[in-house]
Structure 1
Amino acid sequence: MKHPLTKENVAIERSKKIAASLRQMRKKSSGMDMSPPSAGKPRKPGESTASRNNRIIERFKQLQAQKEINPRKIRGQLAREFDLSRQYIERVLKPYLLSVAARIRR
């Protein structure tokens, strides 16, 4: 059931539409509405989040093995490649890095 058309509800709906159009304009001006290359898509159709996270970890291992990439910039590189935030990349990598550190300590 829709909300009754009161002045307040109309104003709220109008502000939501304005906010959505502003977000869309920002995306277009920054070039973010263009789809990333196929290798950089966050998830392939039918792919689970776990398998995408495994792809992120595998790519992290590859970038770590390459000496020409600064280790401090690997997370940013992964964020760009997978079109995800650096915070999300760190959240995915943290359990892997902790397990590696635990293996080293043994």
Structure 2
Amino acid sequence: MTCPHCGASVYENDVKCPYCDSFLENRNADNTRRPVSGPGQFTMNGPDQVNVALVIVSLLIPIFGIIYGAISLGGGHQKSGKVYLILGLAGIFVFPCFMGIIPMTFAFLGFAQ
């Protein structure tokens, strides 16, 4: 195999070129090229599907939705990452308003003392 960056001859299974220190591309079983993750990079495994339990948690605990949404976006799950991030941001505004309405409703109906 030849390094696409410097043209040096490298082994087929090498991840980095020993000469120019750049990351190489590997081939999958179907002989398609894919980039190799570098240090500090990751990809999330599994399909990019929205989980209902995580949607509920993202609304009830907004910081979880924001953090998990950012992790999902960084890991390559664009669809679910956007959903969790948006719901986490919405949860910051919706949940406190909702929690303020419940006590006011009980006070208005005379249940609270």
Q: By the TM > 0.5 criterion, same fold? A: no
TM-score, with structure 2 as normaliser: 0.31
Structure with bigger strand share is 2
Please say which structure displays the higher CA radius of gyration: 2
Structure with bigger helix share is 1
- Ranked by relative contact order (alpha carbons within 8 Å, sequence separation 6 or more), the top structure is 1
